[in-house]
Amino acid sequence: MTTQLCIDCGNTRIKAGRFTDDRLAERWVGDYGQLAELRQWASHSQAQCAIMCGTGGHDAEVAALLAEALGTAPLQLTHEVHMPLALGYRTPHTLGTDRIATVHGAWAAMPGCNLLVVDAGTAITLDVVLSNGVFLGGNIAPGVTMRLQAMHEHTSRLPLVDIAGDVPLVGYDTHTAMRAGAVLGAAAEIDRLASQLRTTLGQLKVMLTGGDAHLLEQYLESANVDVDDDLLLHGLNSILSYQDENQ
């Protein structure tokens, strides 16, 4: 039985998963004030190895914690790590490791398919994986909350609108007009890219993850869409397992 830990170090939160024989058996989510709890969780995991990706702010601290808890240093994901997908990005050193991990999670679920992988968080990333196993690249756009904040901060009279609430096709007051513009605009971007990709590639699977994935899914017209909240963790696990398979 193989047990692996996968750790995503975000800007403010840590999301971790314990995988047993490639099955996500347990999750841990906390912030950087809970590192002692993370150390204890990792120590009791009985994991043989770990992988992590992050924004850079706390990576060294979390890596040291994992090494102490497991007795072995975690693999830190970079564009130079051996992985199942080939990187077609022209500047791989600038490619966020969260994007690398997320597309690998989609590929692990749907190998051999053309994929549009959408991570709908603070920013929305729309990444394309070709059926031949090449991570082609993708687009980055403002997330829904960022759009609402930008309209408020860069105008003199528009209010700060909460993301939760009615999203009509046509807004009937300022709040619904702004919310519909942000939500439906983001959904339309996804639909448009998916449609154009299907024109050039043929069949295409759309996979959504991130905090706003379930919200945007409601307003997508695109067919063949799945939502998976744990794509990034599954991708880290896939990359880590690939190291053992290709030693």
So which residues are the catalytic ones? Answer: 98
SS3 annotation, the chain = CCEEEEEEECCCEEEEEEEECCEEEEEEEEECCCHHHHHHHHHCCCCCEEEEEECCCCHHHHHHHHHHHHCCCCEECCCCCCCCCEECCCCHHHCCHHHHHHHHHHHHHCCCCCEEEEEECCEEEEEEECCCCEEEEEEEEECHHHHHHHHHHCCCCCCCCCCCCCCCCCCCCHHHHHHHHHHHHHHHHHHHHHHHHHHHHCCCEEEEECCCHHHHHCCCCCCCEEECCCHHHHHHHHHHHHHHHCC
